[in-house]
């Protein structure tokens, strides 16, 4: 096998876990065959990518040559000159407005709120995308019934976002071989992935990008505030004291980094028994309103603990689209209140 034959064969090898070849991904550098020894240069950004490609080459060609010399030449990485929260970069100039949805702790329904806000905006006629920035617990694909889709690329080598319910969707869950593939990433890798999803996805022109943030006050939150001009932050909590304690920290983080907050959403606010219609305040009463009042930010609305909302969300059927009129109104009213408390560029 000569150099050209080897190059053609390498270009057709599939990259593990995605429907692209290493030739299409432009991972091949200089290739030479001399005295039945193959020297292959790989153009990769990360050590993980290098090792993945090296292994599939060895698996396919080790018996064809006396020796395989596979080397790595790092390609230029993305510009990671971070902005700051006072004067952030704008890595999403195609989006007129950025809404960041976050919480102090996990399990309060932040992703459910994010999806339904995004769809409610689309229902008003706006062009909307949603970015799942919760890279360690990405739920947006399941909530939008796109969890079986996997990413594809357009002719400009841009990632094509999934679409459903009138919104464009990007999540790291769409890049993994299976839904239960864990992402054992250091925070720097997660941040790099988010930058790629902002810059290398064919979002088109958007009126709104909704970002489903991870819970807490860590690297991702700070990076998003540094790299995007956030138009409004929405904070999700339950009435429970441990949840409002944590969302208080998120509020103070946004105050410290000068991000405007549209307000607080109280999810799982109360439960009405379907048989008796008796109301039960399972997680307490009025926690979200108290936090909003304490920190002098708006209270956007309350969403009850509703079995039908939970079941529909698990099936990828957002209640703002497929729920009853009452369920739709919870989220539509929240969006109306976000508009009242924000100055959007439209």
pTM: 0.79
> Which tokens hold the place of 41?
């240069």
pLDDT per residue as tens, the chain (346 positions) = 899 999 999 999 888 766 678 888 778 889 999 999 999 998 876 677 788 889 989 999 989 999 999 998 755 455 555 566 667 889 999 999 999 999 988 899 999 999 999 999 999 999 999 999 998 889 999 999 999 988 888 888 889 999 999 999 999 998 887 778 777 777 777 888 888 899 999 999 999 999 999 888 788 888 888 899 999 999 999 999 999 999 999 999 999 888 999 999 999 999 999 999 999 999 999 999 999 999 999 999 999 999 999 999 999 999 999 999 999 999 999 999 999 999 999 8
Torsion sign across C-alpha atoms 241, 243, 244, 248: positive
SS3 307: helix
Query: Residue 43: which of 60, 59, 25, 58 has the closest Cα?
Result: 25
Please give the Cα distance from 257 to 26 (Å, whole number): 39
Contact 169, 129 (CB under 8 A): yes
Q: Please, what are the domains in the chain?
A: 3-74 (3.30.300.130), 95-340 (3.40.50.300)
Please give the Cα distance from 113 to 137 (Å, whole number): 15
Query: Residue 112: which of 338, 291, 331 has the closest Cα?
Result: 331
Query: Residue 131: which of 227, 212, 236, 193 has the closest Cα?
Result: 212
């Amino acid at each position: 096998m000569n150099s050209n034959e080897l190059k053609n064969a390498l270009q057709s090898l599939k990259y593990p876990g995605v429907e692209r070849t290493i030739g299409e991904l432009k991972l091949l550098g200089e290739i030479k065959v001399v005295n039945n020894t193959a020297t292959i240069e790989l153009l990769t950004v990360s050590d993980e990518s290098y090792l993945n490609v090296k292994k599939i080459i060895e698996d396919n060609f080790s018996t064809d040559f006396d020796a395989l010399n596979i080397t790595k030449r790092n390609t230029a990485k993305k510009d990671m000159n971070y902005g700051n929260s006072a004067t952030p970069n704008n890595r999403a100039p195609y989006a007129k407005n950025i809404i960041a949805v976050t919480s102090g702790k996990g399990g309060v329904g932040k992703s459910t709120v994010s999806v339904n806000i995004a769809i409610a905006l689309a229902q008003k006629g706006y062009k909307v995308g949603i970015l799942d920035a919760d890279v360690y617990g990405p739920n947006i694909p399941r909530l939008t019934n796109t969890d079986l889709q996997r990413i594809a690329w357009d002719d400009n080598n841009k990632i094509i976002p999934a679409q459903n319910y009138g919104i464009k969707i990007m999540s790291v869950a769409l890049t993994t071989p299976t839904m239960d593939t864990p992402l054992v990433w250091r925070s720097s890798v997660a941040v790099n992935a988010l930058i790629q999803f902002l810059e290398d996805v064919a979002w088109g022109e958007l009126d709104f990008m909704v970002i489903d943030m991870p819970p807490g006050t860590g690297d991702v939150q700070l990076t998003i505030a540094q790299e995007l001009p956030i138009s409004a932050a929405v904070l999700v909590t339950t009435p429970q004291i441990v949840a409002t304690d944590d969302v208080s920290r998120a509020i103070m983080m946004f105050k410290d980094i000068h991000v405007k907050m549209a307000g607080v959403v109280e999810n799982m606010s109360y439960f009405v028994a379907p048989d008796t219609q008796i109301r039960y305040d399972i997680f307490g009463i009025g926690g979200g309103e108290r936090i909003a009042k304490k920190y002098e930010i708006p209270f956007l609305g309350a969403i009850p603990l509703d079995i039908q909302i939970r079941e529909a969300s698990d099936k990828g059927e957002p209640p703002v689209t497929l729920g009853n009129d009452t369920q739709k109104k919870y989220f539509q009213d929240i969006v109306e209140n976000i508009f009242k408390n924000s100055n959007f560029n439209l």
